[in-house]
Structure formats: structure tokens, C-alpha cells
Amino acid sequence: MVAEVLAGIALVSSAVKGIKASIETAKDIKDIAGSIDELMTGVEQCQKKAKGKQKSGKAGRWQNYLRLRFTSVKETGDGTSIQEIAAEVIEQKHAERELWQMQLLINKKFGANTWNDIIIMRDQRIEELEKKRHRLRYLAREKAAASAKMWKKIFKETGNVLILVAIAGGAYALWYFEVFGRH
């Protein structure tokens, strides 16, 4: 999780730098779309981290700073120490601040509601993707159920044929011994 947060912060920072560098020369929003995508991915990673508990192991940038600054604070590794909580909050606030700055820059360059339009369209596409995945899972379950039903029917019919062959064979054997068995 710590690696995700660090990667998220690094992604947010690099995306912000990329957007700031290209915002003045960008003629269209698609010129900076990749950087916006990186920014959103980084923010999502930070938000995921804030929701989950921090695992023991490598400390984040803010944790290291707090540990050096306040030597009496011990790291527990289970996400309950003050430095771990402070690091999570600071990292989340940093990502939110960078996101807010990008919102202002993009709205300034491309119009008042550009950022909101981007977020709305992104949310719609994510929802459509989730619906598509749900539908595909449903179809896969339906296909698996149909396949299982087909194989069950095949085995049942094969069993019926074997029983029929056994009965016919028994009847033939009885007839054979009746006709040719007395000689």
C-alpha cells in the first residue's frame, strides 16, 4: 500500500508538471489528456490508500519526515500510529490540492466547466464499463449453465442408450438361447 501511495504521489506530481508545462501551448484538451489521466490515476491510488490500512514495511515520505521530526513517536505498522495517520492525511491533502490546481488551470484555459465536463464524462464511461463487465459476467454464467445443462443431458441420454442396448442385448440373448439353445 505504501508503494501505491508513493507511486500515486509521484504520478500526481509528474502529471501536474506535465500539465503545467503544456497548458500554455495546448490548443486542445487532448494535448494534455494523458497527463490528466495520470493525475486521476495518482489521486485514485492515494484515495485507495486512505481507505485501507497501511501495512508494515517501507515508510512513506511523510512518515519518514514525521519520524525524524518527532523521535518519540513510534511506528506501529498497523496504521494506528499518529505518524502513519498524519502521513496518510497529508498525502491525501497533497493530492487533492494538486487536483484542485489542475482544475483551475484547465478551466482557465478551456472554459469554466471544462473540468466538470471531464469528470462527468469519465464517470459515465466508468459506469458504462462496469455495466458491460457485469453483462459479460452474466453472459458467461449463462453460457456455463447452458453448457452444464447440455452435458448433463448428453450423459443422461448416453445412459438411456446404454440401458436400451443392455435391454435389447438381453432380449436378443434370451431369444437366441430359446431358438438355438435346445439343439
Q: Are residues 144 and 174 in the same domain?
A: yes
CA atoms within 13 A on the CB side of 65: 8
% residues pLDDT > 70 (the chain): 73
**Other Cβ atoms within 10 Å of 88 Cβ, number:** 23
Task: With respect to residue 29, please indicate whether it lies within any of the assigned structural domains.
Answer: yes
52 closest CA partner among 6, 76, 85: 85
pLDDT greater than 90 at residue 63: no
Across residues 39-44, what is the average pLDDT? 80
Angle at which helices 33-51 and 82-110 cross, to 10°: 150
101 closest CA partner among 5, 4, 23: 23
Q: Which strand (E) or helix (H) includes residue 138?
A: helix 114-180
More confident residue, 39 or 60: 39
Q: Are residues 11 and 79 in the same domain?
A: yes
Residues in the chain: 183
91 closest CA partner among 70, 55, 61, 66: 61
Task: With respect to residue 128, please indicate whether it lies within any of the assigned structural domains.
Answer: no
pLDDT greater than 70 at residue 124: yes
Q: Are residues 144 and 59 in the same domain?
A: no
Mean pLDDT of the chain: 80
More confident residue, 5 or 20: 20
pLDDT greater than 50 at residue 142: yes
> Where residue 54 falls among pLDDT bands split at 50, 70, 90?
very low
31 DSSP 8-state letter: G
Q: Are residues 35 and 91 in the same domain?
A: yes
More confident residue, 3 or 123: 123
Which three three-digit cell numbers place residue 60?
512513506
Q: Are residues 48 and 104 in the same domain?
A: yes
Q: Are residues 96 and 155 in the same domain?
A: no
pLDDT greater than 80 at residue 148: yes
Count: domains in the chain: 2
> Where residue 93 falls among pLDDT bands split at 50, 70, 90?
confident
More confident residue, 97 or 54: 97
Q: Which domain holds residue 54?
A: 2-112
Task: With respect to residue 123, please indicate whether it lies within any of the assigned structural domains.
Answer: no
pLDDT greater than 60 at residue 154: yes
**Distances in whole angstroms, Cα of residue 95 to Cα of each of 19, 44, 45, 76:** 15, 9, 10, 25
Residue 57 has a pLDDT of 47
